[in-house]
């Protein structure tokens, strides 16, 4: 059989293209902001993870430019060898201090961060307990680790306790969960996860890609939100959301970070974060420290938009974060609504099966600290117009 037969057989995306409702790969002609130019049209952006509005902040842009001038466009090697810059070390130090952890290690992407952390920490004699709705990078990391992975029902603490109770005492145990689940916008039940981990001798890792900069008084994420910063063993995060850059990190105990630095294949064998990305993430972190009101602003604008959508009868899944899922239920209907919203001037993200169960398709909308109420009023009216038609 031809290796490429699967390619010839894959027709689903082309069928949607032929129907004129393909919702992916729309090209931006401007930077990430609250209003963008997308394929020649003015478009309100409510499909971005730019939670604190820092991707277009002049200070962040200037930091990236100056770093490129000083260090060049790339590092030409891994952190393990020639690719460590002083700004990498400074970024790690400041992240560790901000998150109240001993140490920090950075990775070239968020996806790679989970691969690098989990595959180094867990091995053949270990068990990973994984929420069913964790990010795809966590699932791939579990496979790469060769540890036994046990999935527990989404945010179901009874099922987690049932599963961990069956793990032999001679196995290392790691509970891994998203802090904020990226599609549905739920916050993990971290107090119960910590309780179960203590009772059964497990370690806790939180992927806080969508919690960092969004939850907690200072934006330190899910652990700060629950007052459990000392109880979470590993905090993972990304730079591509609140930190307005590209990359990822792990903050943990110094000995754990030291071990990962010397045993993580994705870290050792990948080129380091380019200077511009490191500098822009460092600048964004300093802005978060200086302007904690951005955390409040992004949550307030999301709550305002929830109210507008409720008033117009738009079916929502209720959340407490700047992610508002709008229920559309059917895959093809989801594509049609996304197409009409874009034509009217609003960009959103379609979420269809198998990313969600069949019949639970949704539109994922997400919000930014620099969105205005006037923009939300405009976007809500467009939602009402499109939903009345489709």
- Give the chain's residues under pLDDT 50: none
Is 210 marked active-site? yes
Is 242 marked active-site? no
**298 C-beta neighbours (distance < 10 Å), count:** 26
Q: What is the pLDDT of residues 86-106, one digit of tens each?
A: 999 999 999 999 999 999 999
- Which helix (H) or strand (E) segment holds residue 194: the answer is helix 190-200
Is 241 marked active-site? yes
pLDDT at position 358 is: 86
CATH topology match: 5-56+292-389 vs 58-290: no
Which CATH number is 58-290 given? 3.40.640.10
Boundaries of every domain in the chain = 5-56+292-389, 58-290
pLDDT at position 353 is: 84
3-class SS at 118?
Answer: helix
pLDDT at position 50 is: 97
Q: Return all residues near 227 (Cβ < 8 A) that are at least 6 apart.
A: none
What is the DSSP annotation of 278-292? HHHHHHHHHHHHH-T
Active-site residue (options: 182, 242, 245, 280): 182
Active-site residue (options: 101, 241, 339, 371): 241
**Dmax of the chain from CA atoms?**
60
Q: What is the pLDDT of residues 171-180, one digit of tens each?
A: 999 999 999 9
pLDDT at position 390 is: 85
pLDDT at position 93 is: 98
First-residue to last-residue Cα distance in the chain: 43
Residue 289 has which token pair?
């420290």
Q: Please, what CATH class does the domain formed by 5-56+292-389 belong to?
A: alpha beta
Nearest-angstrom CA–CA distance, 313 and 383: 10
pTM of the model: 0.96
Active-site residue (options: 173, 210, 339, 371): 210
């Amino acid at each position: 059989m031809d290796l490429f037969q699967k390619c010839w057989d894959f027709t689903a995306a082309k069928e949607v293209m032929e129907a004129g409702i393909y919702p992916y790969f729309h090209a931006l002609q401007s930077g990430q902001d609250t209003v963008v130019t997308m394929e020649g049209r003015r478009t309100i952006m409510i499909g971005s993870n730019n939670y604190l509005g820092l991707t277009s902040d002049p200070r962040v842009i200037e930091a990236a430019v100056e770093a490129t001038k000083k260090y060049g466009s790339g590092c030409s090697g891994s952190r393990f060898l020639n690719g460590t810059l002083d700004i990498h070390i400074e970024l790690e130090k400041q992240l560790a201090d901000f998150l109240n952890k001993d140490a920090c290690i950075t990775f070239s992407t968020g996806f790679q961060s989970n691969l690098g952390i989990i595959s180094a920490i867990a091995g053949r004699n270990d068990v990973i307990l994984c929420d069913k709705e964790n990010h795809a990078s966590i699932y791939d990391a579990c496979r790469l680790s060769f540890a036994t992975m046990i999935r527990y029902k989404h945010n179901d603490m009874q099922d987690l306790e049932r599963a961990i109770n069956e793990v032999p005492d001679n196995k290392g145990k790691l509970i891994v969960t998203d802090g904020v689940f990226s599609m549905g916008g739920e916050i993990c039940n971290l107090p119960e996860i910590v309780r179960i981990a203590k009772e059964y001798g497990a370690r806790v890792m939180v992927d806080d890609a969508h919690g960092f900069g969004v939850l907690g008084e200072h934006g330190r994420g899910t652990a700060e939100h629950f007052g459990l910063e000392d109880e979470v063993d590993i905090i993972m995060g990304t730079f591509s959301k609140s930190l307005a850059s590209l990359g990822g990190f792990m903050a943990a105990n110094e000995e754990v970070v030291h071990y990962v630095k010397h045993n993580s294949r994705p870290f050792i064998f990948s080129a380091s974060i380019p200077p511009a990305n490191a500098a822009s993430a460092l600048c964004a972190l300093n802005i978060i420290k200086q302007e904690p009101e951005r955390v409040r602003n992004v949550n307030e604008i999301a709550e305002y938009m929830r109210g507008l959508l409720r008033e117009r009868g738009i079916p929502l899944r209720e959340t407490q974060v700047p992610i508002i899922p709008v229920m559309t239920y059917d895959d093809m209907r989801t594509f049609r609504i996304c197409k009409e919203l874009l034509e009217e001037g609003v960009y959103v993200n379609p979420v269809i099966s198998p990313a969600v169960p069949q019949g639970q398709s949704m539109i994922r909308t997400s919000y930014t600290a620099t969105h205005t109420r006037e923009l939300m009023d405009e976007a809500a009216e467009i939602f009402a117009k499109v939903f009345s038609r489709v």
